[in-house]
Amino acid sequence: MKALNDIFLLNLFTILPPVFSYLLACIGAIFAGTVVGKEREKAQKAAGLRTFAMVALGSCVFTLTTRLVLGEGFYTDGARIPAQIVSGVGFLGAGAVFRSGRIVSGLTTAAGIWATAAVGVVFGLGFFTFGICVTFMIFLLFWIHSYMDKKHFRDAEFSTYHVHVDSQDGKGLILVEEVVREWGFIPKPVESSDSSKVVWEFSIAHDQRAHQRFLAELASHNYVTKLVKR
């Protein structure tokens, strides 16, 4: 057990000269950001390989700077810079979150940026093995999340609905379309024999709670005259 602890918590600064340990720490941080960022880039997210690599490297360099400052004999609190990394990366992660109507996306990527910054701090402290292990943990979390989402989408059962909108005064189409687009759907027109009504078609997954709320809001809308499951 002691040997395992020694390997897992191996500190580069205790076994290598500073020139090598600092460079290896930076290379490890870049590797961590690249591994995680590549998965996000493959998933076509806004923050990709370069963003994650720069976040990890920046966090590592800031942490290494703390060691340099302490090594020069300056009196300072060594925990201040890592603490500021946590809050600073929080603002960066907020930029990865997008909201379109009632749909919020990017929260997982933002959390990944935050976790990758933490890995950069770990490398900056010299714990190379620990940093590599956490990097692959983050990668696996992203990969499993993406795999489960794709599998869920493939296995989900969909139903088709027709929504009848009163279009006599012109306002109904605008108001109902606004609701539809806020939920992330694009109206698909269907031919109707009644000129005073416009019919739109949607395919919705059965087990999506958000989709069920969308149907409930649509059914209660003043300008929706009928909501039919096909």
Q: Which amino acid is at 121?
A: V
pTM listed for this prediction: 0.64
Mean pLDDT of 57-85: 76
Task: Please determine, for residue 153, whether its predicted confidence score (pLDDT) is greater than 70.
Answer: no
Q: Which domains does the chain have, with CATH numbers?
A: 2-153 (no CATH), 158-229 (3.30.70.260)
Angle 178-190-188 (CA atoms, 0-180°, nearest 5)?
Answer: 40
The Cα–Cα gap between 111 and 43 comes to 15
Kindly report, residue by residue over 175-201, the tens digit of the pLDDT. 777 777 777 677 777 776 666 677 777
Task: Please determine, for residue 95, whether its predicted confidence score (pLDDT) is greater than 90.
Answer: no
pLDDT at 194: 66
CB 118 within 8 A of CB 199: no
Buried-state track 208-224, b at ≥16 Cβ within 10 A, e below 16? eeebeebbeebeebebb
Mean pLDDT of 121-143: 90
Mean pLDDT of 115-122: 91
Which SS3 state, helix, strand or coil, does residue 102 take? Answer: coil
